[in-house]
Structure 1
């Protein structure tokens, strides 16, 4: 006997359709599980709130009818006492003498003599730059007939003095500190070196530069219009480390 299959109930016929439906259902479930979010529910604490009501108490204003003050007592005037003086009794009179001087008295006038006032001339400190002073300061050992010759000799003597007295600070040498120090000083009207100031890359170099300039000898001061004046002068001192 031959077995025949009903084409309407064939399972393999709709297998692809069932597979597609199942796949879509699984994808939907997967998407919903990914999109689903959970939130922690915070614990809400209910505290008792105490409300304090402010009461404003109305203070009644009462008119106080104060009785008027009693009138002041009447002032009793004391009776005047009249003393009768007999004519026979003598009354002494008190005579008050005037303390004013009479016009006949002579007033002595004192004449204060003013002695002669000595007027002392105070010399004002005049400072003239080295480049424009009429007569430049003269370094010991410099000779010259013109101002330019004395300037050149002054500069040479200053350089020789720096080279002779130069000592590189040991601490700066070990630390490798070098650079140029600008020194400004003044040759006052007495020929002395004063007001030494310096500016450089390190305090040790500045201190050494000021020490060198402080050893300069006394010079002949500069002159302007026949009067000695202070002359400022500046010079750079270069500190170099040779390998």
Structure 2
């Protein structure tokens, strides 16, 4: 007949080792916890000491005394009055008489107003004329007109009509072209008229007057 094992007897045998194993595990955990706390405390103390070493000590700020600005005195330049006219001063040394100041008289000449030009009479009683008449004027033009070379090369020719004013003394002024041919021919006609001798002035009521005259000058190539 087989003997049956009592399960309670087997459990009693294993209880004691299990208890010792539990105490060992708990003790190990407690020891590890204490050692971890000490390491954490040591590390924290080291970090705090390092941070204190890194923080620089407060520097003492010393305010430098402010220098007051030095104001330099600028000498004002001497103003020399402009030279004035010399004034003669006379004083009697023997007697205390007041000073007499004599100023030279200033002569102010009045400006002469220009005489207004006499009006131009278009229809005088007597017309102004070239000295010697029309024949003398044609001879003067034939002897003094110089045909421009440029106009000759270009073949320019024609009649230039001019207008001018004969003053009271017979001089010729205000020469202008009424109808021209070319720039070179017009310039030559104007030049010749300005070189004319004085004309006999026109007359109105028996007195010389300014008159306006018109003449043609013919430029022809032969």
Q: What TM-score, normalized to structure 1?
A: 0.41
More strand as a share of residues: 2
Rg larger for: 2
Q: TM-score, normalised by structure 2?
A: 0.44
Question: Greater helix share, 1 or 2?
Answer: 2
